[in-house]
Amino acid sequence: MFYRILQSIFDFLRAQWWALTLCIVTAAVCLLVVYKLVWPAYQNPIARMYTSKLGYSSVLRKTGGAFPVSSAEVLPREIIGKFIGEGLMQSEPVQVPMVAMANIVKVHVVEGQRVKRGDLIIELDSSRLQMKIESARAAIRTAKAELERVRVGTVNVLQEERPDILAVRIDIVKAKLKLARETLAMNRRLSKKGSVRPTLVSENKLAVTQAELELQELQLAFKTANEGRVNSVEIGESAIAEAELTLAYRLKQLEDYKSYASADGIVERVLVHDREYNQDPGRPGVLLASGLWFECYLDQTALGRIQKGDRVEIRLSAYQDRIFSGKIELVRPLVNFALGGPETNRPIRPLGTGAPEWPATFSVRVKLDPTDDLVVPGLTGYATVLQQRNVLTVPRGCVNAVSGNRGIAFVIGDDGESFEPRNVVTGIRDDLYVEIVEGLNENEFVITDGHQVLEPNDRINIVDGPAPESAREPPSEYAVASPTP
């Protein structure tokens, strides 16, 4: 009977062999799909089903299982942080003014021309000033001649200032007075003898008195003339000095009729032309673009981390296959919503927010290393600030960013099965690691992967990465010790 049943089954299977083969293949494929696709997806923390009521996380919590996580140790590492910002090549605008009011004789430059410091830029008509200069020279000669006339005493208006002539007249009056006194003495002797009349003696006394008065008058005039002559000479010398100063002033004015470049640069704009008249003293005639640097606009989160002297790599749109190097020579610590860079024309969404805002940036000045390429003001591009630091770091996946440079890291407990969420402050970062400024200590352990679905009081199981020393498995008592050499 049993044999007949088996025979019937074999006959049925022999008749339906193709259906049996199809069922076996289908079952194998289903098992393979479950093993390769369904089960890994079921265990994947980022899958939508993972956190559902029938998901893997719910099953683990209900069964008291531990969540598999990866870990890393907080250690000091050498990293190269990068801050990227856009910007453009800029230069310092330098004006070349025209000081004098005169006709423009010649403009010696054109737009785009490179000039050196001290090159002649604009030349003005100085013919009228040349006449004034010659007039000043003539005034010097006239003043010198007048001074000589004062010293000689031939100036008509200075007749009372001739002490030399007065000195001669004083000598004459002194001789005349001496003679009058001698005559008076002689007539007095003769009058006593009765040889001359008495009135003659009186006349002699009058002559002596007149001579004495004339001498006193001449001596007073000599003193006044001598002092006045000294002052007149001083006036003449002052007139010469004034004329010389006028000449020096005119010669100094002559420098204003030629405008020179005050710095090396490129002629950006020429504002005047030949044969025009400059009617405004100090009016700029030419605008130079002096110096060359890359003005980079960085996000406000980089403020305080960027330092003077940091290396920078610049990529210009005009040279997309080239990388230009430079250093930060100036950091402007002013954050402004209007400084979003040359190509910012729409708002952005900052980290940790959903509201659109205009970028809040600050600018740095980057001095380029010498290059043979033609780099001119106005070229746009992007800059990467490189910061090489030896700092406390963790892998980038350890920190969940919340806003800006703040985030949350999951610190593994000493037992290796518990964890603690902790607020951290981050710094620079590279492709693999991020700097920890605050919140973590060296040699602590953090979760790098698997923390996405963790909830308070969940148990963890480190399946990849280092673990706290107290949580490591002790060596087996049956382990064979290595022979001591």
pLDDT digits (tens, 9 = 90+) for 245-271: 999 999 999 999 999 999 999 999 999
Residue 482 above 50 pLDDT?
no
Measured CA to CA, the distance from residue 165 to residue 156 in angstroms comes to 14
Indicate the pLDDT class of residue 17, thresholds 50, 70 and 90: low
Q: What is the pLDDT of residue 483?
A: 37
Say which residue, 373 or 93, is predicted with more confidence.
Answer: 93
85-123 confidence digits (pLDDT tens): 999 999 999 999 999 999 999 999 999 899 999 999 999
Measured CA to CA, the distance from residue 139 to residue 382 in angstroms comes to 66
Residues shown for the chain:
485
- Can you tell me the mean pLDDT for 159-165? 63
Residue 71 above 70 pLDDT?
yes
Worst-scoring range by mean pLDDT, 2-11, 460-469, 470-479? 470-479
Q: What is the pLDDT of residue 275?
A: 92
Residue 161 above 80 pLDDT?
no
Q: What is the pLDDT of residue 129?
A: 93
Indicate the pLDDT class of residue 41, thresholds 50, 70 and 90: low
Measured CA to CA, the distance from residue 368 to residue 328 in angstroms comes to 9
Residue 173 above 90 pLDDT?
no
Average predicted confidence (pLDDT) for the chain: 81
**Among the four given CATH numbers 1.10.540.10, 1.10.10.350, 2.40.50.100, 3.40.50.10320, the one describing domain 94-120+260-289:** 2.40.50.100
Indicate the pLDDT class of residue 34, thresholds 50, 70 and 90: low
Residue 220 above 80 pLDDT?
no
Residue 159 above 60 pLDDT?
no
Q: What is the pLDDT of residue 478?
A: 38
Helix axes 198-255, 127-152, angle to 10 degrees: 160
Q: What is the pLDDT of residue 339?
A: 47
Worst-scoring range by mean pLDDT, 36-45, 252-261, 341-350, 395-404? 341-350
Whose tokens are 């089903």? That residue is 49
323-370 confidence digits (pLDDT tens): 999 999 999 988 876 544 444 555 444 444 444 455 678 899 999 998
Say which residue, 406 or 22, is predicted with more confidence.
Answer: 406
Q: CA separation (Å) from 341 to 217, 295, 312, 358, 404?
A: 93, 9, 17, 11, 20
Residue 467 above 50 pLDDT?
yes
Domain boundaries, the chain: 94-120+260-289, 127-255
Residue 362's closest CA among 320, 300, 452? Answer: 300
Indicate the pLDDT class of residue 475, thresholds 50, 70 and 90: very low
Worst-scoring range by mean pLDDT, 141-145, 227-231, 279-283, 382-386? 227-231
Q: What is the pLDDT of residue 372?
A: 84
293-312 confidence digits (pLDDT tens): 999 999 887 888 888 999 99
Domain 127-255 fold: Helix Hairpins (1.10.287)
Worst-scoring range by mean pLDDT, 169-173, 335-339, 419-423, 476-480? 476-480
Residue 81 above 70 pLDDT?
yes
Both tokens of 8, joined, read 């019937």
- Can you tell me the mean pLDDT for 53-81? 80
